[in-house]
Structure 1
Amino acid sequence: MPTEIAFLAIAEAQQIYHWLPAALELARRPDVSVTILSPSPVLLDLVAHYDPTGTLKMEHLRRPFFGADTLFRQPSRLATLLLNAQRLSHFPLLVTTEISSAALRFVPGFRSRLILIKHGAGDREGGYKARHSAFDLTLVAGEKDRRRMIERGLCPPEAVAVGGYAKFELSAPPQRFFSDDRPVLLYNPHFDPRLSSWVRHGPAVMRALETLQGWNVIVAPHTKLAGRVAPIETTAPHIRVDMGSRHSIDMSYTMSADAYLGDVSSQVYEFLLQPRPCLFLNLDRRDWRNDEAFAHWRLGQVLERVEDLPEALTRAPDLQPGFVAAQKAAMHDSIDQCAIPASVRQADLILAFMQGKA
């Protein structure tokens, strides 16, 4: 009998990129059967795009009566889990990137083992929640997350392992999004209303970007922010706004931009796959220097006034050499990269866990 493993696709599309490489790798292994479970034809179509040879089994879960079906809007995860709990329990092992699946632990008779591939590699404290403790094994991108998960009592050391960042294996290549050769600034605000530079200061930020000289700008907020605020609009010809598309989640923008402007999004670590200038907006003037939730703000200039953006961009090339060592060290701690692809490492860890060796 083949080893049966199921991957849950019940979250928005951006999370698929964090587990799909491992699912594809496992499906290529002998005597392993991998099923993708989702209530969404849209998400299953996205998965199939990366699986042209059909190595993965696709299964439609029962869908709640309410909730949209788009890349960035899905029905309630909890409702989906409860509606399909009996079917999910058929699989001895479920792999997911979202912590809502911890609710399955409270379903009578549910005995499947759960593996979490923690998506993202950021510093925000919101990435560490009590529900993480419900998983039998958690795979993280780097030593930073492993250390923090253990320190917070969310995982015993034997239940959390470093598997790398498999999303890099599906990253889009650098692309041209503008007709001229001006450098490109990526503005990537986060969705957390307490921390986002857009929620409180959006109009001021947009005015600064619209009057920016010598740069093209991509405004690509976190897709959760795009779903919670009014559409960001501008007539400025040097600004491209993306409120949610494949480009906004497949690293098209982080691979193509020359400089990064943000607040607390973990996408800064995707941008720093190649060291480049980073700028961070501290428009609420937080005391951040000794707060590990803002550790990435040490990797570039921190601006307390959006009016300082033009001058900061002018200084960025000269200042960047002084940030390169810190950027590389932060990347090494946040995302463990080695010659073995993350998908292979994650697949090995999952199979070892199933065989009782993890």
Structure 2
Amino acid sequence: MPTSIAFLAIAEAQQLYHWLPTALELARRDDVRISVLSPSERILDLIRSRDPQGLLDPVRLRRPPGPDTLFRQPSRLATLLLNYRTLTRFPVLVTTEITTAWLSRVPGFPSRTILIKHGAGDREGGYKQRHRYFDLTLVGGIKDRRRMIERGLGTEQNIVVAGYPKFELDTEPQRFFPDDRPVLLYNPHFDAELSSWIRHGPAILAALEALDGWNVIVAPHIKLARQVPPITSQAPHVRVDMGSHHSIDMSYTTSADVYLGDVSSQIYEFVVRPRPCIFLNLDRRAWQGDPAFAHWRLGQVIEDLADLPRALARAADLQPGFIDAQETAMRDSIDQSPIPASRRQADLILDFARANG
């Protein structure tokens, strides 16, 4: 009988590429059956588009009331409750979201759960008590493993470094503008306490629209795009993306020349190839020494939007001084073994499934 493993696709599309390469790698192996469980036909269609050989077995879950778009899905907890009996048919469930931790707290729940921790950021919000209810957690790098163990969210035995399969998308740089001016990517986070956009959005947009000699991509975290009024701009050099394939498949982090942001983990998808970064400290936080802002050591930090043009003008000249810090931070945040992360994760998941089947 083949080893049965199910991947839960109950989150929005931005989490998809953190697990899909691993699911496809597992599905290519002998005596393994990989099911993908989702209440969304839109999400399943996107998965099918990345699985032309039909290696994965899509299972449409019962759907609670709520929207069905790539970036709006119904309550994850309601989805789990509505499909509880279906979920118990699978001995191992793999997910990238932490609502699924609820299942492990239900007396008698028979399945084992594996978390692939998505993202590689630094903010404290990436570490929740729910993390400790998973049987196995796969993290991108030693930073997450160290921090989770320090916070009592797992042990040296059940938190394992396994790389970042999203890097296997092989997204090529793209041209998003008709000219060759350098491209600035502004990528604000959704965290209301830390996001540069929540309190300063109109001023930031005005500063970006006033830039001379630059093209600008404004691509907020998709959760921010759901929380705030749509960002719009008539400036011909400004492209705003409130949620598309480009905003989740590394198209922008691959194609931009300079990164502008606050606390998004996408910074590590940008500096995998070292390039200039600028961070907005418009609330003048005392950030030095705070691990939640560790990535602010990877570029210039400005406290006034009036300083943005000068920071951009200096970015290329200052970048050599940041390369060592960027490369060190990448080694700590995301392990880039020559063995693909999807293969490493697949090995770990399959060994776990066979040992606990």
TM-score bracket, shorter-length normalisation:
over 0.9
Asked whether the 8 Å contact 1:94–1:113 carries over to 2, the reply is: yes
Q: Which residue of 2 aligns with 1:181?
A: 180
Shift in Å, 1:182: 0.1
Shift in Å, 1:90: 0.6
Secondary structure, in 3 states, of the residue corresponding to 1:227?
Answer: helix
How do 1:232-311 residues align onto structure 2 when only pairs under 5 Å count? Answer: 232-311=231-310
Q: Which residue of 2 aligns with 1:19?
A: 19
Shift in Å, 1:15: 0.3
C-alpha distance in 2 between matches for 1:241 and 1:69: 23
Q: Which residue of 1 aligns with 2:46?
A: 46
Q: Which residue of 2 aligns with 1:215?
A: 214
Secondary structure, in 3 states, of the residue corresponding to 2:10?
Answer: coil
Q: Which residue of 2 aligns with 1:230?
A: 229
Asked whether the 8 Å contact 1:260–1:268 carries over to 2, the reply is: yes
Secondary structure, in 3 states, of the residue corresponding to 1:355?
Answer: helix
TM-superposition CA deviations, 1:257-300 (whole Å, max 9, x none) = 00000000000000111000000000001010010000000000
Shift in Å, 1:171: 4.2
Asked whether the 8 Å contact 1:171–1:250 carries over to 2, the reply is: no
Secondary structure, in 3 states, of the residue corresponding to 2:99?
Answer: helix
C-alpha distance in 1 between matches for 2:147 and 2:104: 23
Q: Does 1:62 align with 2:89?
A: no
C-alpha distance in 2 between matches for 1:155 and 1:297: 27
Shift in Å, 1:106: 3.3
Secondary structure, in 3 states, of the residue corresponding to 1:119?
Answer: coil
How do 1:70-219 residues align onto structure 2 when only pairs under 5 Å count? Answer: 70-219=69-218
TM-superposition CA deviations, 1:203-235 (whole Å, max 9, x none) = 110111010011000000000000110000111
Shift in Å, 1:306: 1.1
Asked whether the 8 Å contact 1:186–1:220 carries over to 2, the reply is: yes
Unaligned runs of 5+ in 2: none
Q: Which residue of 1 aligns with 2:324?
A: 325
Q: Does 1:2 align with 2:2?
A: yes
Shift in Å, 1:111: 1.4
Q: Which amino acid aligns with 1:286?
A: R
Q: Which amino acid aligns with 1:186?
A: L
Q: Which residue of 1 aligns with 2:339?
A: 340
Shift in Å, 1:108: 4.2
Cα RMSD between the aligned structures? 0.9
Shift in Å, 1:33: 0.2
Name the CA shift for 1:122/1:67 in 2 (closer, same or farther; >3 Å).
same
TM-superposition CA deviations, 1:50-82 (whole Å, max 9, x none) = 100000000100000x21000100000000000
Asked whether the 8 Å contact 1:40–1:69 carries over to 2, the reply is: yes
Secondary structure, in 3 states, of the residue corresponding to 2:145?
Answer: helix
Asked whether the 8 Å contact 2:3–2:354 carries over to 1, the reply is: no
C-alpha distance in 1 between matches for 2:306 and 2:47: 42
Secondary structure, in 3 states, of the residue corresponding to 1:190?
Answer: coil
Asked whether the 8 Å contact 2:104–2:113 carries over to 1, the reply is: no
How many corresponding residue pairs? Answer: 356
Q: Which residue of 2 aligns with 1:33?
A: 33
Asked whether the 8 Å contact 2:42–2:70 carries over to 1, the reply is: yes
Unaligned runs of 5+ in 1: none
C-alpha distance in 1 between matches for 2:166 and 2:70: 17
Secondary structure, in 3 states, of the residue corresponding to 2:318?
Answer: helix
Asked whether the 8 Å contact 1:282–1:302 carries over to 2, the reply is: yes
Asked whether the 8 Å contact 1:171–1:251 carries over to 2, the reply is: no
Give the share of equivalent positions with the same residue, in percent. 71
Name the CA shift for 1:171/1:202 in 2 (closer, same or farther; >3 Å).
farther
Q: Which amino acid aligns with 1:304?
A: E
Q: Which amino acid aligns with 2:31?
A: D
Structure 1: which 4+ aligned runs deviate by more than 4 Å?
Answer: none
TM-superposition CA deviations, 1:161-220 (whole Å, max 9, x none) = 011000011242110000000000000000001000000000110111010011000000
C-alpha distance in 1 between matches for 2:345 and 2:86: 25
TM (normalized to structure 1)? 0.98
Shift in Å, 1:355: 3.2
C-alpha distance in 2 between matches for 1:271 and 1:146: 21
C-alpha distance in 2 between matches for 1:180 and 1:17: 30
Asked whether the 8 Å contact 1:85–1:107 carries over to 2, the reply is: no
C-alpha distance in 1 between matches for 2:182 and 2:259: 11
Asked whether the 8 Å contact 1:18–1:97 carries over to 2, the reply is: yes
Secondary structure, in 3 states, of the residue corresponding to 2:355?
Answer: coil
